């Protein structure tokens, strides 16, 4: 039994086998093998498993994004059955006496180069597909997980690091916990782990020899235990049962009002990153969705999501929430959320660069596509729209002009839409200082405490070396929140918090006494926050 320390980003206990996640292009060494026939058989078994994964991904994608977008998985399946590709792999294994991994990597490189040099654009595009299927085969052969392929049983994912786009593609039903060597407690991947109610550790010095071993992730002490003995395993299972009992007690609060002892009603909403999170919102009895991170629609795809693809997602969420408010944040990429097909130039300081509303106001057609989808979906439920990274009144007025154009287009086309509240995220000191002016332009404010803390303290929240001084309780941050609440109310706007600080139970009573109207938190925090609200007297 071995113990390794890390930093916990979500408390809880996970028990299961470790699965290593290999990202990007894997390094494959040229290794000799003694049994050629056994190696060819190993390749054929890996290919069969890869085809099974692709078929499952196709079915899943059809349900979530439609047949047109799912077709890529059919293409990859056909490529795995290509005679030329398979003959090349067999030949390299046989003639050179090397491992299947090396034969696949070589074949993949050769075929990708061949396709990329063709004049026909269709065949040029197949080069990327060849690389994808080769990486999938290598991953299966090496026993690791990649992308949405985790395996058949729930596992603890261990990786050097995870990008938000990688995390969001994973099948949540197969995830027990995350353990990474790199990363920050304030990164978007950490936020997603909390949204998914998964114990997670960062800063753990990982070893590939752990792959497949039984382990325990103790999110309370920030410890990873490899091959725990019977006593430790029994103790951890008992802690899991204690957690389950606590959740059972909190579940008695379902259906109860979010109202303080002296009668103040609070909007208690949930944050989500995808349509699949709606089930957790309903399970935890949130009164609405206070932050739908729409950028993950873009992170999950290899090209811009169409208006109809977005419309179907927003419409489904609105319908499922059955009249409860759904606040959808417009595209917020940049910083640690990079999308290759946006082809954005490298920036020395992306957190303060070309991101969020700045991209939308620069690439207006992308913005209008999303707004059309949002307004169309508003006919099917109670949708509100909020705009991120605002620093000026001028930006808000430009947004309003574009919204007016979109509504005029929909009117001309005879397309119905509902009444839509519009708000802005307060996540820059500039927005705080002019919040009295912004309140006159919008219906609500939502305070993004993660970025507000970052920009106020001049601390990059992705830099794990600064985690010890990243203080979201800093008096400057709390004073800014108070100022925003007061200015919002004077201007007639309701004010909420959608950042991670909203789920900090040590501050819940403080926020209530500041006059906050809404708290939007990860779904699993809804009931603990409700308990505090119902026990608080503001007089």
Residues 6+ apart with CB under 8 A from 475: none
Distance (Å) of CA 276 to CA 165, 196, 288, 292, 299: 15, 10, 15, 11, 15
Residues 68 and 94: beta-carbon distance below 8 Å:
no
**Taking 70 as the threshold, does the pLDDT of residue 146 lie above it?**
no
Percent of the chain with pLDDT over 70: 89
Residues 497 and 518: beta-carbon distance below 8 Å:
yes
Exposure string for 174-183, b = 16+ CB within 10 A, e = fewer? bbbbbbbbeb
Q: Which one is catalytic: 76, 188, 346, 474?
A: 188
**Between 187 and 147, where is the model more confident?**
187
- Cα 311 to Cα 307: distance, rounded to the nearest angstrom: 6
Instruction: Out of 28-37, 138-147, 345-354, pick the least confident.
Output: 138-147
**Between 317 and 276, where is the model more confident?**
317
Identify the pLDDT of residue 130.
85
**Between 57 and 155, where is the model more confident?**
155
3-state secondary structure of 146: strand
- Cα 537 to Cα 106: distance, rounded to the nearest angstrom: 68
Q: How confident is the model at residue 218 (pLDDT cuts 50, 70, 90)?
A: very high
**Taking 70 as the threshold, does the pLDDT of residue 367 lie above it?**
yes
Identify the pLDDT of residue 123.
64
Residues 6+ apart with CB under 8 A from 477: 449, 452, 453, 456, 457, 471, 501
Tokens for 112?
């990708």
Residues 6+ apart with CB under 8 A from 242: none
pLDDT in tens, 242-265: 888 888 888 899 999 999 999 999
Which single residue is written with the structure tokens 């990202």? 23
Tokens for 287?
């009164």
**Taking 70 as the threshold, does the pLDDT of residue 62 lie above it?**
no
Active site residue 90: no
* Closest residue by Cα to residue 508 from 483, 486, 533, 526: 533
3-state secondary structure of 171: coil
**Taking 80 as the threshold, does the pLDDT of residue 73 lie above it?**
no
Report how far Cα 530 is from the mean position of its chain's Cα atoms.
25
Identify the pLDDT of residue 263.
94
Active site residue 360: no
pLDDT in tens, 394-437: 999 999 999 999 999 999 999 999 999 999 999 999 999 999 99
Q: Quickly count: other Cβ atoms within 10 Å of residue 383's Cβ.
A: 27
**Between 532 and 470, where is the model more confident?**
532
Identify the pLDDT of residue 427.
95
Identify the pLDDT of residue 161.
79
Q: Residue 367 has what DSSP assignment? A: H
- Cα 210 to Cα 188: distance, rounded to the nearest angstrom: 26
3-state secondary structure of 395: helix
* Closest residue by Cα to residue 176 from 150, 154, 160: 154
Q: How confident is the model at residue 378 (pLDDT cuts 50, 70, 90)?
A: very high
Identify the pLDDT of residue 244.
87
Q: How confident is the model at residue 61 (pLDDT cuts 50, 70, 90)?
A: low
Q: How much is the pTM? A: 0.65
The predicted model gives 58-81 an average pLDDT of 70
Burial of 74 (0-12, 13-18, 19+ CB in 10 A): middle
**Taking 60 as the threshold, does the pLDDT of residue 335 lie above it?**
yes
Q: Residue 304 has what DSSP assignment? A: P
**Taking 70 as the threshold, does the pLDDT of residue 390 lie above it?**
yes
Could you give the domains of the chain?
2-22+148-246 (3.50.30.10), 36-142 (1.10.274.10), 287-422 (3.20.20.60), 427-539 (no CATH)
Would you say how long the chain is, in residues?
539
**Between 251 and 378, where is the model more confident?**
378
The predicted model gives 109-133 an average pLDDT of 76
Q: Which one is catalytic: 76, 90, 360, 498?
A: 498
Identify the pLDDT of residue 466.
82
Identify the pLDDT of residue 131.
81
Q: How confident is the model at residue 275 (pLDDT cuts 50, 70, 90)?
A: confident
Identify the pLDDT of residue 124.
67
Identify the pLDDT of residue 256.
93
Q: How confident is the model at residue 371 (pLDDT cuts 50, 70, 90)?
A: very high
Identify the pLDDT of residue 343.
77
**Between 55 and 107, where is the model more confident?**
107
**Between 197 and 110, where is the model more confident?**
110
Q: How confident is the model at residue 168 (pLDDT cuts 50, 70, 90)?
A: low
Identify the pLDDT of residue 251.
87
- Cα 527 to Cα 280: distance, rounded to the nearest angstrom: 12
The predicted model gives 319-334 an average pLDDT of 92
Q: Residue 306 has what DSSP assignment? A: P
Report how far Cα 302 is from the mean position of its chain's Cα atoms.
16
DSSP codes of every residue in 12-65: -EEEEEEEEB--SSPP----B-S-HHHHHHHHHHHHHHHHHHHHHHHHHHHHHH
Average pLDDT, the chain: 87
Q: Kindly report the backbone phi and psi dihedral angles of residue 518, in degrees, each rounded to the nearest multiple of 5, phi listed first.
A: -145, 145
Q: Kindly report the backbone phi and psi dihedral angles of residue 495, in degrees, each rounded to the nearest multiple of 5, phi listed first.
A: -130, 130
């Amino acid at each position: 039994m071995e113990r390794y320390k890390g930093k916990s980003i979500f408390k809880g206990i996970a028990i299961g086998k470790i699965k290593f996640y290999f990202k990007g292009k894997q390094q494959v060494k040229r290794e000799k093998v003694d049994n050629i026939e056994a190696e060819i058989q190993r390749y054929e078994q890996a290919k069969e498993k890869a085809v099974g994964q692709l078929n499952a991904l196709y079915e899943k994608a059809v349900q979530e994004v439609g047949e047109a977008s799912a077709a890529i998985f059919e293409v990859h399946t056909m490529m795995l059955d290509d005679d030329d590709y398979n003959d090349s792999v067999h030949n390299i294994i046989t003639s050179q006496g090397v491992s299947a991994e090396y034969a696949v990597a070589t074949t993949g490189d050769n075929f990708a180069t061949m396709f990329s040099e063709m004049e026909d654009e269709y065949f040029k595009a197949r080069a990327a597909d060849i690389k994808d299927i080769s990486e999938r085969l290598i991953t299966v052969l090496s026993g690791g997980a990649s992308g949405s392929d985790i395996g058949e049983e729930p596992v603890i994912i261990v990786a050097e690091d995870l990008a938000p786009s990688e995390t969001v593609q994973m099948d949540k039903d197969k995830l027990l916990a995350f353990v990474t060597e790199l990363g920050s407690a304030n990164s978007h991947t950490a936020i997603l782990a909390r949204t998914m109610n998964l114990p997670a550790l960062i800063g753990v010095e990982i070893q590939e020899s752990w792959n497949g071993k039984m382990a325990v992730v103790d999110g309370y002490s920030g410890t990873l235990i490899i091959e725990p003995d019977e006593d430790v395993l029994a103790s951890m299972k008992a802690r899991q049962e204690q957690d389950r009992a606590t959740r059972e007690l909190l579940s008695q609060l379902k259906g109860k009002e979010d109202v303080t002892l002296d009668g103040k009603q609070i909007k208690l909403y949930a944050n989500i990153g995808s349509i699949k999170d709606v089930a957790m919102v309903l399970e935890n009895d949130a009164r609405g969705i206070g932050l739908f991170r729409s950028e993950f629609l873009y992170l999950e795809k290899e090209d811009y999501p169409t208006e109809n693809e977005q419309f179907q997602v927003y419409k489904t969420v609105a319908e499922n929430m059955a009249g409860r408010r759904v606040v959808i944040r417009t595209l917020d990429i940049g910083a640690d959320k990079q999308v290759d097909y946006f082809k954005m130039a490298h920036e020395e300081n992306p957190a303060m660069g070309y991101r969020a509303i700045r991209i939308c106001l620069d690439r207006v057609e992308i913005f209008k596509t999303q707004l059309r989808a949002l307004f169309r979906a508003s006919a099917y439920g109670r949708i509100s729209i909020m705009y991120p990274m605002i620093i000026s009144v001028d930006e808000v007025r430009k947004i309003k002009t574009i919204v007016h154009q979109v509504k005029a287009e929909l009117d001309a086309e005879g397309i119905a839409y509902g009444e839509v509240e519009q708000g802005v995220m307060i996540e820059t000191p500039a927005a705080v200082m002019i919040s009295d002016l912004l309140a006159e332009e919008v219906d609500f404010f939502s305070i993004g405490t993660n970025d507000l803390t970052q920009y106020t303290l001049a601390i990059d929240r992705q830099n794990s070396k600064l985690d010890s001084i990243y203080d979201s309780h800093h008096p400057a941050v709390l004073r800014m929140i108070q100022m925003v609440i007061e200015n919002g109310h004077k201007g007639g706007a309701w004010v909420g918090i959608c950042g991670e600080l909203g789920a900090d139970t040590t501050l819940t009573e403080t926020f209530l006494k500041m006059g906050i109207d809404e708290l939007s938190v990860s779904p699993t925090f809804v009931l603990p926050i409700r308990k505090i609200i119902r026990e608080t007297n503001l007089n």
